[in-house]
Structure formats: C-alpha cells, structure tokens
Amino acid sequence: MKILVTGGLGFIGSHTVVALLEKDYEVIIIDNLSNTSIDVLEGITRITGKTPEFHQIDIRNKSALSRFFDEQPDIEGIIHFAAFKAVGESVEKPLDYYENNVAALVYLLKESCKLNQPKFIFSSSCTVYGQAEKLPITEDAPVQKANSPYGNTKQIDEEIIQDFINSGANLQAISLRYFNPIGAHPTALIGELPIGVPQNLVPFVAQTAARKREVLSVFGDDYPTEDGTCIRDYIHVMDLAEVHVIALEKLIEKDYSKPYDVFNVGTGKGNSVLDVVKTFEKVNNLKVPHKIVDRRPGDVTAAYADTTKVESVLGWKAQRTMADALKDAWRWEQKQQ
C-alpha cells in the first residue's frame, strides 16, 4: 500500500516513516524542509535499508500539491504531520500558523478527493483539552478554548476533518491527540532537530547536559502537584510512531466502518518536570544544572492520558519507558555535537 506522509522528515514524521517501512508499506514523503534537514532521509535509509520517495513540496503551494496528487492516484493513506508547532511563535505569527496548519489542511483534503476512499491520520494534540477538570484525561473531556493560535489550529483542524466527513466525503479519518513525545530512534540515526533555543523540555535538558546551554529553567515549582512542578505524560516517539501504523491498519480493516474517531496517545503516567530531570540524570549518569524560575504563561498544571480507548479499540499500549526515551534522547544529543 502506498502511504503519503506529509512532514515525513520532521521529528514524529520521520519515526513514523521508519515504522511504516518496517511493515513494508510503500512510503512517499512530502516535506518543505522548513524545520528539518534532508539528511533525515539518509538516517531513515540507514535504519530501514529502504529509501522512500521524497518530494520537496510546501503544502501551502496549491498548484504544486495539485500536480503531485494528479501524478499519484494510487495513494491509499495519508498521515498528515506537516505543520508548525511552537506555541510561543504562534502568538507572534498567528497568520503563518493559520495558513500552514489550517489553510493547507483544507488544500490537502480537497486533493484527497482525487483518491479512491483514502484513509487519513491527523496529528492532533492534548492541548485541545487545556487544563482538564478530571485526570487522567479521557477523549470525551470537553475541548476548551485554546490559549494559543497553535492550540486553536489543532481544534479547528479536527472540526474541519469532521465537517468534511459529515458532508459525505469519501474519507475515513482518525485524529491522534498526542501527549508529550520525546526521545529518538534507539540507533540515534534520527531524532528531534530543534532550530535555535529548544522550547520543549527534553531537548533543552539534553542540550544543557551537553553544555550547549548553561542551565535549565524549570518553569515554576508552586503548582499544586507533589513537587510543585507541572505534570505531563511523556511518550517515546517510537511508541507514538507505531500507533500511527496501527491506526491506519484499523481504518483499512474491512469491517471497520467508523468514519471518524479520536484517540489519546500517551502512556497514561504523569511525570513532573523534576522527575524528568532526575531520571535523565540517573539513566545517563550525569548532571543537568537547573534552577527554578517563574511559571511559563499558558502552561497547564497537569495533563496525562486515559489510555483505555486506544488500548481497547486499537489494541495499542506504549511499550517503552520514560527512562528508555531519556536514554535515547541523550544518545541522539551526543551525536549532534
């Protein structure tokens, strides 16, 4: 089966491409290389022994996208990662976020009409829940008003996909609401490539351990949690990659007729910022200088997934521990010197 992966050279995209190739899918990648490097393709090849077809296309470019789909009528599934993902930047450049994350999704869905009953997997985020009232968070927890344009794009995108399907589109889709993806492929041949100062916790921790950053700022220790720091559900990127393949396979099953569904993708376990720092130090046998600073605006106190639905419907459960992910993140960071 031929599967299109948009943003397939990005962090989660590249790991998902590996998972697809390992299951013998034929993969075509579209990526504009705006937040990654072409070298990732080489990493994918070295891991899998296969080189997926690659097209440098920006999905905002309607005519290029249209030409691409005209030439690829036999695509059977689309996994859509291509999007911007920095919360702070989205506040400064909202229109860029709406153009890339929303308008381009519309173009992609329109192009999907050229295909025969395509299956569509969408990268969503637990950010849609905001600070949920109940923990762990189930899929029926209410979607709350987004506190950034980035978060809003994920909510709008989910609605666009649903509306499109409700209109009778010949498409079946699943949105995966990721919790916090971390780590890298255990070979350290692919991983996360933050440009500039990392905004996310684990890349910052790894760069601090590597002495590229002086000290990690822990954003607040006065939250109502055991150690006062925020709690998140950190999931190994390879576990996350594998659930995309499983979700796709569910949509392909002959007797699966649900047109649209959403699943939380996390481990179900919450860990604090200080748990991450301490575990990183312990498993990698090093020190991460850190200091407590003020809270970061917009951060929620705690978010971790109820994984009952993804386990029962998709039969998927995270296999790797946070310690595994933090070892892999460090192995990857050491190769970036």
Contact positions toward ligand UD1, by CB under 6 A?
85, 87, 125, 127, 151, 180, 199-201, 204, 216-219, 230, 232, 273, 296, 298-300
Least CB distance from residue 63 to ligand UD1, whole Å? 30
Q: Which residues contact 249 (CB under 8 A, 6 or more apart)?
A: none
Handedness of CA 29, 102, 300, 209 (dihedral sign): positive
Which of these, 120, 112, 37, lies nearest to 81 by C-alpha position?
120
Nearer to ligand UD1, 41 or 201 (CB): 201
Least CB distance from residue 199 to ligand UD1, whole Å? 6
| CB distance 174 to 262 below 8 Å | yes
Least CB distance from residue 214 to ligand UD1, whole Å? 12
Nearer to ligand UD1, 168 or 224 (CB): 224
In angstroms, rounded to a whole number, what is the distance separating the alpha carbons of residues 174 and 128? 15
Nearer to ligand UD1, 52 or 266 (CB): 266
Question: Which tokens is 51 given?
Answer: 């080189």
Q: Which residues contact 330 (CB under 8 A, 6 or more apart)?
A: 206, 209, 280, 283, 284
Least CB distance from residue 300 to ligand UD1, whole Å? 6
Q: At what angle do helices 104-112 and 149-166 cross, to 10 degrees?
A: 20
Least CB distance from residue 293 to ligand UD1, whole Å? 8
Least CB distance from residue 172 to ligand UD1, whole Å? 24
Nearer to ligand UD1, 53 or 222 (CB): 222
Helix (H) or strand (E) holding 76: strand 75-80
Catalytic residues: 150
Nearer to ligand UD1, 48 or 199 (CB): 199
Nearer to ligand UD1, 13 or 77 (CB): 13
| CB distance 105 to 153 below 8 Å | no
What's the start-to-end Cα distance of the chain, in Å? 38
Half-sphere exposure for 172 (CA within 13 Å, toward CB): 18
- Can you tell me whether residue 187 is helix, strand or coil? coil
Q: Per-residue DSSP letters for 225-257?
A: SSSSS-EE-EEEHHHHHHHHHHHHHHHHSTT--
